Amino acid sequence: MARPRLSGTAGIALLLAVATFGLYGVTTGQLVGYEPETAAVTQALVQRGVLQVLPGNPISGEGLPGRDGRRFSRTGLTQPLLEAPFYLAGDLLDQLSSQGQNLKWRLAGLRLFNPAMATLTVLAAFGLLLLRGVERRRATAVAALLAVGSLVWPYAKIGMDTTLMAMVALAMLGAAWAARRPSPSRMAVAGAAAALATSAKPYGLLLLAGMAPLLLGPLRAQAGRERWRSLAAFGVPLGLGVASVGWYNAYRTGSVTNFLHTNPTALVSTPFNVLGLLVSPGRGLLVYSPLVVLGALGLRELWREDRPFAIAIVLPWPSTC
């Protein structure tokens, strides 16, 4: 009997996933920044069914003070939910190897979460390029450059914004998929990805502006009733995502508008931050991700060939500042 064979595109995607996750996995380090407090919330979610930093937990004693004197993570709801299977897998291995006395595999599972999210970002970019008609070899080259020559790799090591990055990439992929043949089911998938991005961090909603240029043309081509069905299918999960942000705020602080962050949007400073995003010695793209120069050089050609895609790339940029 002949063995089933992967298609060329699926094979390339599998190789990208294995190579990228392998690279990110072996180069990642200890949890840094506010990743430990998020990991502690994930632990509490798996063990107790609560979303808080439990006193005396072995992962992190930090977190920010919130309602009723309890401590919470400043990250959104998406990361603990997605991180829970990684912790659970490590917990099962720790139970088998040391009856749960050792944290080795639980910590390993938590450390591999951000490499997994970064790998998902690369795969989403590869799929997005293919859906926009980019030739497979060129899409593969761009995805490989993204994996090793951009900020994706550093974020695989440090986390903090990696979940948001992956969810925004998935939302863009979902929008491109829905744009090819708009239907309520496809729009619902795109809306669900957008909801995960919004729930990861509230300003993720601003980064989703790039979905609009991809979807507007196909939606206009739909008949009136079908268009409203598609918009509803997209809007319902996105609305639930926005509602989850308010619920999680209330859960942590008692107020739907308290984000456990001193300045969650910083819109006033955005015009000044745009320049710093490019040339700042601390986080400038020209310093830490010089591939942005290639992207800028290719933007004019992309504008001629696929204007909605070019707008989708440029539109969210000020929001990243």
Radius of gyration of the chain (CA): 21
Task: Extract the tokens encoding 256.
Answer: 């739907």
What pLDDT sits at residue 275?
66
Scan for tokens 């991809």, then name that residue: 214
**Are 287 and 182 found together in one domain?**
yes
State the angle between helix axes of 291-305 and 307-314 in degrees (0 to 180), rounded to the nearest 10. 140
On whether residue 124 sits in a domain, the answer given is: no
Letter for the amino acid at 141? A
- Per-residue pLDDT of the chain (321 residues), as tens digits, is 444 455 789 999 999 999 999 999 999 989 988 899 999 999 999 999 999 999 988 887 688 899 998 999 999 999 999 999 999 999 999 999 988 788 899 999 999 999 999 999 999 999 999 999 999 999 999 999 999 988 899 889 988 889 999 999 999 999 999 999 999 999 999 999 999 999 999 888 989 999 999 999 999 998 889 999 999 999 999 999 999 999 999 999 999 988 886 555 454 555 566 666 666 665 667 766 777 778 888 889 999 999 999 999 998 876 665
pLDDT at 289: 72
Which DSSP category does 65 fall into?
E
* 119 closest CA partner among 11, 9, 12, 16: 16
From 52, 80, 111, the end of a domain falls on 111
122 within a domain of the structure (yes/no): no
Residue 197 near residue 169, CB atoms below 8 Å: no
Helix (H) or strand (E) segment spanning residue 173: helix 162-180
The pTM score is 0.90
User: Looking at the 3D structure of the chain, how many domains does it have?
Assistant: 2
Q: 164 and 312 in one domain?
A: yes
pLDDT of residue 1: 40
CB 187 within 8 A of CB 231: yes
Q: What's residue 149's pLDDT?
A: 86
* Structure confidence at residue 266 (pLDDT): 52
Asked whether residue 274 is assigned to any structural domain, the reply reads yes
Say if CB 169 and CB 124 are below 8 A apart: yes
Residue 101 domain-assigned? yes
**pLDDT attached to residue 15:** 95
Domain end residue (candidates: 92, 111, 130):
111
* Residue 119 placed within a domain: no
Instruction: Report the first-to-last Cα separation within the chain, whole angstroms.
Output: 56
pLDDT at 2: 45
DSSP states along 70-123:
-EE-SS-SHHHHHHHHHHHHHHHHHHHHHTT---HHHHHHHHTHHHHHHHHHHH
How many residues can be counted in the chain?
321
Measure the CA–CA gap between 175 and 3, rounded to whole angstroms: 34
Identify the pLDDT of residue 224: 85
Range of the domain at 52: 29-111
Let me know whether 167 and 271 are in one domain: yes
Of 112, 104, 52, 101, residue with least CA distance to 260: 52
Structure tokens at 201: 């961090």
d(CA 291, CA 303): 18
- Residues 189, 304, single domain; the answer is yes
